[in-house]
Chain A
Amino acid sequence: MEATNQSKDVLVVGAGIAGIEASLLLAQAGRKVYLVEKSPSIGGNVIKFEEVFTNLECSTCMIAPKQQETLQAERIELLTLSQVVRVEGGLGDFKVTVKRNARWVDLEACIGCGACFDPCPVSLKNEFEEGLGERKAIYIPCAGALPNVPAIDREHCLRFTGEDKTCQACQEACVFEAIDFDQQDEELEIKVGAIVVATGYDLFDPRRSPQYGYGKVGGVYTAFEFERLFASNGPTGGEILLPNGNPPKSVAIIHCVGRKERGYCSAVCCMYALKFVHYLKSKLPTVEVAQLYTDFCIPGKSAQRFSEKVKGMGGDLIRAEVVEVAKENGNLRVKYNLPSGKAGSLEVDMVILAPAIEPRADAADLAKVFNIAQDDAGFFAEEHPEFSSVATPREGIFIVGCAQGPKNIQGSVAQSEAAVGRIISLLP
């Protein structure tokens, strides 16, 4: 059966580990891929981590070659700072409209030397560093971000906010004439045969559960923030430091933050909490660490061994039900109830929260654009939860990675591979 006008090209939305893996595999199988990424660089959340469980492999080393291959693959057309705004048609014949925002830096001319950062008069908190570091209005999110070409942040650049329409500090600093204020936002029309939605996840905002003190008392961090505190390319160069500049002496890691509110288990937190214990104990051997958990959820064939290994490094494991964090004598007091009903508490100087994985804030909008459904929790709904977890009821549109539900890297990669298998099988 040879249909006319059928496109075998594929659109992949989101350039985290799931989207990258799907794009590379499709390209290797000879397909043209359009990889659309909202942010200025690719790599998603995995590049925020220093190491990954369970083998404690360097995360950057693991993903950097994949990012590179993505940039170099002839068959992958990467569209950064871009979003899908309209999808028409069906399997084999989708017409997709992509809005590409201007970067105002020429991808070809720029060599990523970074000379433009210093002269930029605007400093603000760097979202990539979870606000723990600063960046300029012309910036790359972190050392090693790819493509290694800065973007100008239209929300803050004085030229675009109108505060100083004549500012051209970056342009003057650039010896390669890569800054181009004439670049325009544009809309592109793409024809593809299938679509892979790999838009990833957000973390539950712990401010929604005020008992944890996040945002009110100092020394309470989210998992992402702590990852950046440990990252060798992070704001502290990998030193675990409290706001007062000292390393913590005692740390409490609180599991299941937002589990009740969201109504599901986020699948990865117990494992990364163990990894955090390893981070802490390897860098600060005398630090005391306590984990407050509800169920220890570490399935899989290598997880138990990792857990035993980390347990061997010390630290307490407390099964606790209600947890509250408050400031006390300059330190943090973590109060909890044991399942037996007895109350307990401990004094620490750092608290790390493991917040639930939740759908991205714009998931509802994306669901409308792709005309796919969301499940009760807001993740994209699959065709069949058991039999067809990467397909959607809309033929030709696939969902992979945490956009479909919380999962670890292996699960995300396996789903990407699965979606590619289904696509090659549907559009041979």
Chain B
Amino acid sequence: MENRIGVFVCHCGINIATTVDVKAVVAAIKDYPGVVHAEDYIYMCSDPGQGMIQERIRKKSLNGVVVASCSPTLHEVTFRNTVARVGINPYRCEIANIREHCSWVHSDRAEATVKAIKIVKTVIEKVKLNEELTPIAIPITKRALVIGGGIAGIQAALDTANAGYEVILVEKQPSIGGHMIQLSETFPTLDCSQCILTPKMVEVGHHPQIRLYTYSEVEEVSGYVGNFKVRIRKKKRWVDFDKCIGCGICMEKCPVEVPSEFEEGLAKRKAIYIPFPQAVPAKPVIDAAHCLWFQTGKCRICEKLCPTGAIDYEQQEEIIEEEVGAIVVATGYDLYGMENIGEYGGGRYQDVINGLQFERLLSASGPTQGVVRRPSDGKVPKRVAFISCVGSRDPELHKPYCSKVCCMYLTKHAMLYKHRVPDGEAIVFYIDIRSDGKGYEEFVQRAQEEDHVTYIRGKVSKIYENNGELVIMAADTLSGKPLEVSCDLVVLGMAIVPSPGVEELIRKLKIQVDTNGFLTEAHPKLRPVETLTPGIFLAGCGQAPRDIPDTVAQASGAASKALEMFGQEQLHHDPAVATVNEDICSGCGLCVPLCPYEAREIEVIKGKRIAVVNEVLCEGCGSCVAACPSGAAQQRNLQDSQLFRMSEAVTIK
């Protein structure tokens, strides 16, 4: 095939044209071998720009196109679609990146222009040898896995299940509900958190399309978009859920008491326990680390009392295999440990507590039945300090980001405290009030005006104990004066951090996290619920600190992405993957452990060992191609022959 290539150079407004002389690029390329047309335009990706490319393809019978513009991650798809619509195989269109690789990183216009010309020439050489390819078709398993049973996971599971698809919901705790079920009331409406969440939990528990695995973890994930295979480890709970009727006799009689995780250590639970009365499923598990039988070999009282014989000390872990087409990761958050901020005395002073602990103190179902009593002596505190930005916004020592919800929940805390203790005094220490949601600013104003909460703008430097009182040392940054305030209880608005254990999970899923451990979305603006791994979606605080409305919206968004996929008959995979020349391959197998996608494996074909490629798993990274000692592995449209021609184009005059 004789090459008839068109080159289209984009100005990208001022982004490219300021640093690169686009006219000079066109002039230098116009007569390059194989090029029959070259032209520049202000926005090549715009409708008229694309129309221009199509018009030139028709008029000049082009059979290859090079667009010199921004990174191919932005517009490769755009331009490949453009040429495909006028009958050119999309893989005969390539992007020469003269923005990120050139104009944005250089300032000398002359040198940048020379470099842009070189970049364009290499890509022309590549296109000359590009094959016409067709996307690989992939079938879809129309079933979703949701990891995490907090509000995000619950919403994503319900939306997907209500659309008629099966959902596997995996939660590592004994019950779904996440942190939201611990909350007393939610801002800014002061709705009872349990009242709005429990109906959804029950719906999940009873939904015919949802298979719920609590006290379970994702052990292994293999496969790819549309065709994931998941191994789920059901932890030993030593209670047979089929027999257990949830009567609770076992819990009454268990002699062991340990601090309750659900109550944030402010109350006790038994070694056989349901985390909270509304738990779904409402069946207990045995905490072997504290159970007398497992620790000392004595007791078994729960077994004796169980009317249905549901206690099973011989129970084994169970591994369940499921096939799914899409995965929603909703792993949630934890609070940054108070012990990290030594100067505030959290963990050392009983009456310095975190936000979730205070939620439990406010909750009608909590350890104090909603009466605000401080942990040390059970007294109702008369002056409570609420400190925001503890561990957040501190790039030197702790977390550099803002945790987003603390301003609002501390305001709520102060307000609810004042409702419970009208003659008490609530003081909020803050740096900036971040009330950027609907009804939020009004909420803060209400706290100040109606509930007389005092707001002090200042960073707290130290908290110390003095005669049974906590003394807060701070600087009032508005008046510029130092101040000391003594109080009975201190609530710390701790930074939000990703859930522990999430690092291990992300390795299994092969998705990315940022420097702070939050899951990375595919694009910060336009693809907020997707990961860069096709078929894996994000929801909730695992991705970034956020409040309940945003979490719910994001969860429905993640569900919509899965539903969009399930609405299609099949998916398509990029065909620019590795290939193997079976005549040359010696079967040495070097490529097999190198492949990060498990796409290479040894097969014996006609008595000969061959390292074959699973085209659907292959992401075209090129690791195997580079490692192959014989040159048997080649990447489609990035063959050795192409690479040589590309380097010759810029090195040989």
Binding site for B on A (CB under 8 A): 21, 25, 28-30, 50, 52, 54-55, 57-58, 60-62, 64-68, 71, 111-112, 143-144, 146-148, 232-233, 237-238, 259, 263-268, 295-305, 308, 319, 339-340, 375-377, 379, 384-390, 404-406, 409-411, 413-422, 424-426, 428
Please, which residue of chain A has its CB at the minimum distance from the CB of B548? Answer: A386
Residues of chain A with a CB closer than 8 A to B434's CB = 265, 295, 297-299
A-B contact pairs, 13 of them (CB 8 A): A60-B46, A61-B70, A111-B51, A112-B47, A146-B47, A232-B13, A265-B440, A299-B403, A300-B404, A319-B478, A386-B196, A390-B556, A406-B438
Contact A415 B553 (CB under 8 A): yes
Could you tell me the distance between the alpha carbons of A264 and B555 in the complex, rounded to whole angstroms?
26
Which of A25, A71, A233, A296 sits near B564, CB closer than 8 Å?
A25
Contact A301 B439 (CB under 8 A): no
Contact A426 B162 (CB under 8 A): yes
Contact A29 B525 (CB under 8 A): no
Residues of chain A with a CB closer than 8 A to B436's CB = 265-268, 297, 299, 406
Which of A67, A267, A319, A424 sits near B563, CB closer than 8 Å?
A424
Contact B544 A238 (CB under 8 A): no
Instruction: For chain B, residues 5 to 23, give those with C-beta under 8 angstroms from any C-beta of chain A.
Output: 12-15
Residues of chain A with a CB closer than 8 A to B457's CB = 339
How far in angstroms is the closest Cβ of chain B from A408? 8
Contact A409 B525 (CB under 8 A): yes
Chain B 32-50 per-residue mask, 1 if CB under 8 angstroms from chain A, else 0: 0000000000110111101
Please, which residue of chain B has its CB at the minimum distance from the CB of A340? Answer: B479
Residues of chain B with a CB closer than 8 A to A422's CB = 159, 556, 560
Please, which residue of chain B has its CB at the minimum distance from the CB of A409? Answer: B525
Please, which residue of chain B has its CB at the minimum distance from the CB of A68? Answer: B47
Could you tell me the distance between the alpha carbons of A409 and B163 in the complex, rounded to whole angstroms?
27
B500 within 8 A of A: no
Could you tell me the distance between the alpha carbons of A148 and B45 in the complex, rounded to whole angstroms?
13
Binding site for A on B (CB under 8 A): 12-15, 42-43, 45-48, 50-51, 70, 74-75, 77-78, 158-160, 162-164, 186, 188-189, 191, 196, 393, 395, 400-404, 431-442, 445, 457, 478-480, 514, 516, 518, 524-529, 544-545, 547-550, 552-561, 563-564, 567-568
Please, which residue of chain B has its CB at the minimum distance from the CB of A65? Answer: B78
Contact B554 A414 (CB under 8 A): yes
Could you tell me the distance between the alpha carbons of A299 and B432 in the complex, rounded to whole angstroms?
10
Could you tell me the distance between the alpha carbons of A264 and B433 in the complex, rounded to whole angstroms?
12
Please, which residue of chain A has its CB at the minimum distance from the CB of B404? Answer: A299
Contact A264 B560 (CB under 8 A): no
Contact B567 A58 (CB under 8 A): no
Which of A148, A233, A418, A420 sits near B13, CB closer than 8 Å?
A233
Contact B162 A25 (CB under 8 A): no
Please, which residue of chain A has its CB at the minimum distance from the CB of B78? Answer: A65
Interface pairs A-B: 5 shortest CB-CB: A417-B557, A421-B560, A232-B13, A418-B556, A405-B438
Could you tell me the distance between the alpha carbons of A111 and B558 in the complex, rounded to whole angstroms?
39
With A263-B445, A299-B404, A340-B479 already in contact, 15 other A-B pairs whose C-beta atoms are closer than 8 Å: A29-B564, A57-B525, A111-B51, A143-B42, A148-B47, A237-B14, A300-B401, A300-B402, A386-B552, A389-B549, A390-B553, A409-B526, A417-B557, A417-B561, A425-B162
Could you tell me the distance between the alpha carbons of A259 and B403 in the complex, rounded to whole angstroms?
23
Contact B525 A413 (CB under 8 A): yes
Which of B48, B189, B401, B526 sits near A304, CB closer than 8 Å?
B401
Residues of chain B with a CB closer than 8 A to A379's CB = 438
Contact A420 B548 (CB under 8 A): no
Please, which residue of chain B has its CB at the minimum distance from the CB of A293? Answer: B432
Could you tell me the distance between the alpha carbons of A65 and B516 in the complex, rounded to whole angstroms?
31
Contact A265 B435 (CB under 8 A): yes
Which of B42, B50, B189 sits near A385, CB closer than 8 Å?
B189
Could you tell me the distance between the alpha carbons of A174 and B568 in the complex, rounded to whole angstroms?
43
How far in angstroms is the closest Cβ of chain A from B611? 37
Which of A268, A299, A417 sits near B402, CB closer than 8 Å?
A299
How far in angstroms is the closest Cβ of chain B from A249? 22
Contact B47 A71 (CB under 8 A): yes
How far in angstroms is the closest Cβ of chain A from B529? 6
How far in angstroms is the closest Cβ of chain A from B147? 18
How far in angstroms is the closest Cβ of chain B from A323? 17
Contact A265 B162 (CB under 8 A): no
Residues of chain A with a CB closer than 8 A to B159's CB = 421-422, 425
Which of B12, B196, B555, B558 sits near A58, CB closer than 8 Å?
B12
Contact A61 B47 (CB under 8 A): no
Residues of chain A with a CB closer than 8 A to B547's CB = 386
Could you tell me the distance between the alpha carbons of A415 and B557 in the complex, rounded to whole angstroms?
7
Instruction: Given A62-B525, A379-B438, decide whether A419 and B479 contact each other with a Cβ distance below 8 A.
Output: no
Please, which residue of chain B has its CB at the minimum distance from the CB of A421? Answer: B560
Contact A340 B189 (CB under 8 A): no
Residues of chain B with a CB closer than 8 A to A30's CB = 567-568
Contact B404 A420 (CB under 8 A): no
Instruction: Given A264-B438, A297-B435, decide whether A421 and B545 contact each other with a Cβ distance below 8 A.
Output: no
How far in angstroms is the closest Cβ of chain B from A101? 22
Residues of chain B with a CB closer than 8 A to A405's CB = 437-438
Which of A58, A265, A387, A389 sits near B15, CB closer than 8 Å?
A58
Could you tell me the distance between the alpha carbons of A104 and B263 in the complex, rounded to whole angstroms?
68
Please, which residue of chain B has its CB at the minimum distance from the CB of A416? Answer: B557
Contact B12 A425 (CB under 8 A): no
How far in angstroms is the closest Cβ of chain B from A13? 18
Which of B163, B435, B528 sits near A414, CB closer than 8 Å?
B528
Contact B78 A68 (CB under 8 A): yes
Please, which residue of chain B has its CB at the minimum distance from the CB of A146? Answer: B47
Q: Which of A305, A413, A425, A428 has the most CB of B within 10 A?
A: A425
Residues of chain A with a CB closer than 8 A to B163's CB = 424-425, 428
Could you tell me the distance between the alpha carbons of A148 and B48 in the complex, rounded to whole angstroms?
7
Instruction: Given A304-B393, A340-B479, decide whether A385 and B439 contact each other with a Cβ distance below 8 A.
Output: yes
Contact A418 B441 (CB under 8 A): no
Residues of chain B with a CB closer than 8 A to A54's CB = 524
Which of B46, B432, B529, B555 sits near A295, CB closer than 8 Å?
B432
Q: Which of A112, A304, A406, A414 has the most CB of B within 10 A?
A: A414
Q: Which of A67, A71, A232, A376 has the most CB of B within 10 A?
A: A232
Instruction: Given A66-B526, A295-B433, A420-B560, decide whether A389 and B13 contact each other with a Cβ distance below 8 A.
Output: no
Contact A64 B43 (CB under 8 A): yes
Could you tell me the distance between the alpha carbons of A126 and B556 in the complex, rounded to whole angstroms?
39
Residues of chain B with a CB closer than 8 A to A305's CB = 400-401
Residues of chain A with a CB closer than 8 A to B14's CB = 232, 237-238
Could you tell me the distance between the alpha carbons of A25 and B526 in the complex, rounded to whole angstroms?
12
Which of A68, A266, A387, A410 sits near B552, CB closer than 8 Å?
A387
Could you tell me the distance between the alpha carbons of A21 and B13 in the complex, rounded to whole angstroms?
24
Instruction: Given A232-B14, A413-B526, decide whether A404 and B545 contact each other with a Cβ distance below 8 A.
Output: no
